[in-house]
Chain A
Amino acid sequence: MDLQRLKPHFPWITLLVLVAFVGMTDPNFLRPANLLSLAGDIVPLFIMALGLTFAIYIGGIDLSAQSMANMITVVASAYLASLGLWVAALCVVLGFGLGLLSGFITTRLFVPSFISTLAVGGVCFSAAQWLSGNRALNMDADQRDALFGWMIGRTGIIPNELFIAAALLAVCLFIERRTTLGRALKAVGAGELAAAASGLNVTRYKMLAFAVSGALAAIAGLLFSVKLSGGAPTIANGFLLPAIVAVLVGGTPLTGGVGGVLNTAIGTMIVAVIRASMLYFGVQATQQQMVFGLVLIVAIALTIDRSKLRTVK
């Protein structure tokens, strides 16, 4: 009973414990400059996780996020020269539209979201390969700095990415807590049949959840390509697993309905600390996904609401 009451507080307790633990092993870790640069580095992943939260909040999943980001890095790099600032709009619209497509496949064709988004992700990945000729593309450095330099600079000692992250978090939090869309997504996640029986257009809201997820994955890709001044079809590989981990350890279970974007912010910080601590403990980059895979299994096992699942396949 008490454990149940504590459960919502697990994520930030975990975060504090991890920070304290790593801080004790390596006092340098707790230096503000180090923490800020850690936070700045995780922002693209955070934005992707923010989007994923919407898909997972309704009880679905978006496996296309990583391929979407990959594709967007290529699109941004390829069209920056010709479109200028408009390339940002193109990226977001592309992400939103492809997310909508995943949503359509899921809700209208009754294909479970893990497979519909996997398929759309495959399309994105291949589109990225085709568009880039399977090579890494580079942005024109001057043009990038002129148009998108504000994204990656610093204000004082604070990386600008953090302002972007905070702004997006604020928008998402507002959507989640204060709009009909957010309320409808909560109802769909917590009790889809009751939402439908209350006359909500469940199909539309579910499609929108995937669209928001796609749009945020696109923004993540855009920011990533600006940071790296280029794009490639595999450049964001390795994002998906930590992003899903961030959502789940944050406290939004795969079954949906509880948690939300604030939880994902905490979850992302946990991921950042785990990632940083792996460096301190000498875990090689090639081994990182093993750790995230294990953390993911533990996180799912701890958070999933088994009363909502009749069978698992």
Chain B
Amino acid sequence: MYQLRAVDKKFPGVHALKAVDFEIRRGEIVGLVGENGAGKSTLMKVIYGAYQPDAGTISVDGKSVRFQNPRQAMEKGIGMVFQEQSLIPNLTVMENIFLGYEQQFVRLGVINWQAMSSAARQQLAKVKLDIDPATVTSALSFAQRQLVELAKVLTLEERVDGDLVILLDEPTSVLAEDEVKMLFTIVRDLTKRASFIFVSHRMDEVMELSDRIYVMKDGAVVDVVAHGAATVGQIQHKMVGRSVDREYYREQRQKPYDAANVLLEMDGIALPGRIRDISLTLHAGEVLCLVGTEGAGREAILRTIYGMRTPVSGTLKIKGNVIRTFNPQAAVAAGVGYVPRERKVEGIVAGMTVYENMTLSQMGRYSRAGVLNVAAEKALARDWIARLSIKAHSEYADCGNLSGGNQQKVVLSKWRSGGSDIMLLDHPTRGLDIGAKEDVYEMIRDMSDDGVGVILVADTLEEAIGLSHSIIVLKDGTIQQRFDCKPGAKPTLYDLLHFMI
């Protein structure tokens, strides 16, 4: 009933979707998997009308359609449940459910709250959520909000004729195990009302729930797998184009770290509402991975070390010195480098050249009495462009126009050239294609060889296991478990998951 034919989408420098065919039938649950940057989110945005394809056709029940915006897609019955929850926290549940569609309850310019409340109750019943519709949304748990969001999308049922297609983008990422089970039961139950597209990183969940799974890689659909027709390993193989093996993560290059050389020590660090009693040690040449769900405290730890947050208790020692004032200037001076998750927002400055970006953290070294030595800056940039084979036409290239992988190389060389020996990497491979990822893995091993200590928040658990010397599992802001990850004796996904959830 809902079909994409040969849909193509290009962005400057990226061919995001390559002739994608996609189809969903009535009452079906279709899984969508692929690595970050494989084109999943672009495809979803095309489906719910946020992007318009450059080529190809979209048809609903055989009729060709073209959506200018998500609202038009909704009028055809296509709804989206957002990963970053889209409910407005200070409104009540019912206000959120009918946001933008209050008109039906208005009499003489006044909202009939009782009518809205009973209509909201009906919607909530569809997702088996028994709460007062007048509850303020911020008082709900994450799982409840997810269901409210689903209920909100299900109001389409009354508003449009024809079938519903509902996209679920990583709906389980913040849910506990039993909540996931409950959600799945509800979704299965709802297939009599709607079809679902289910996007998740958690392969086992996708395999459990979906009738068919679309596997994407580098902007193309590489396979469509029917329920039960493939194992997790086989699908992963299709996603990355080869089996996820030790070579991919450069495990053969993993050498023991220098246990005598402690670079950083955290003892009982706490940030109210984020992390509690965090103690960890980072050695020279070590890759220490922080593992946990979103909000488990990984980012808070990185940001504390980088001085962007001031802990209320505990001590942080960098190379033996106790840190008393927490700000990024002091951290940079102590040799800390930070590669933030939001590369385009915090990593590079779009609109500035490669050389300007590379020296941004170390202008003092390239200036005298506040006057910059631009020639030296350019020489540095040329050197690192050659060393990391950064694809930029010259040191004058605008960083905003580079591809993600090359932007990341600029960020890394910014810190490496400044001699940072404690590197904080937050999702350094997010959104990169496979070649660029492997480059980053190489660089991480290079850093270890140079005696740099790396604290890594990886994009996937496999990446965390493959790259690290040690893993610390976090949950709700506390350390649950520490694993040693010697090559050949690494913990499995399930070892980690057990402590995460």
Contacts and interface: CB of A to CB of B under 8 A. Distances in A.
Interface string A189-214: 01101111111110000000000000
B49 interface: no
Contact of B347 (A186, A197, A199): A197
Contacts of A34: none
B24 to A, nearest CB: 32
B271 to A, nearest CB: 18
A208 B361 CA distance: 19
A199 B374 contact: no
Contacts of A191: 345-346, 348-352
A187 B370 contact: no
Interface stretch (A38-46, A138-146, A156-164, A173-181): A173-181
B346 A180 contact: no
B284 to A, nearest CB: 22
A196 B340 CA distance: 11
Interface residues of B, number: 31
A184 B348 contact: no
A184 B306 CA distance: 19
A178 B372 CA distance: 5
Q: Which of A178, A183, A193 has the most CB of B within 10 A?
A: A183
Contact of B348 (A178, A194, A257): A194
A199 B329 contact: yes
A180 B349 contact: no
Contacts of A199: 328-329, 331-333, 361
Contacts of B328: 196-200
Given A197-B338, A198-B360, A199-B361, A190 B350 contact: yes
Interface string B321-334: 00000011101110
A195 B328 CA distance: 10
B351 A257 contact: yes
A181 B367 CA distance: 11
B104 to A, nearest CB: 27
B301 to A, nearest CB: 16
Contacts of A183: 356, 359-360, 363, 372
Contact of B346 (A179, A184, A197, A200): A197
A40 B173 CA distance: 65
Contact of B360 (A193, A200, A201, A257): A200
Given A179-B371, A181-B370, A193 B345 contact: yes
Given A190-B352, A201-B329, A180 B360 contact: no
Interface in A219-236: none
A197 B342 CA distance: 11
B363 A186 contact: no
Given A186-B356, A199-B328, A178 B350 contact: no
Contacts of B419: none
A193 B367 contact: no
Contact of A198 (B333, B361, B367): B361
Contacts of B331: 199
B364 interface: yes
B416 interface: no
Interface string B26-70: 000000000000000000000000000000000000000000000
Contact of A180 (B340, B342, B350, B370): B370
Contacts of B469: none
Contacts of A197: 306, 308, 328, 338, 340, 346-347
Given A198-B360, A198-B361, A179 B370 contact: yes
Contacts of B349: 186-187, 190-191, 194-195
Q: Which of A183, A190, A197, A200 has the most CB of B within 10 A?
A: A197
A258 interface: yes
B414 interface: yes
Contacts of A257: 351
Given A187-B360, A199-B329, A199-B332, A194 B347 contact: yes
A200 B371 CA distance: 16
A196 B370 CA distance: 19
B349 to A, nearest CB: 4
Nearest to A175: B370
A191 B346 CA distance: 7
B367 A179 contact: yes
A170 B38 CA distance: 50
A199 B363 CA distance: 10
Nearest to B306: A197
Contact of A194 (B329, B332, B346, B359): B346
Return the 10 tightest CB-CB contacts between A and B, nearest first.
Answer: A199-B332, A191-B349, A190-B351, A198-B361, A197-B346, A199-B328, A198-B360, A180-B363, A194-B349, A193-B346
Interface of B: 306, 308, 327-329, 331-333, 338, 340, 342, 345-352, 356, 359-361, 363-364, 367, 370-372, 374, 414
12 contacts: A178-B371, A178-B372, A184-B363, A193-B345, A194-B348, A195-B360, A197-B328, A197-B346, A199-B328, A199-B329, A201-B329, A257-B351
Given A187-B356, A191-B348, 9 more contacts: A178-B371, A180-B372, A183-B372, A190-B350, A190-B351, A191-B345, A191-B350, A194-B360, A199-B333
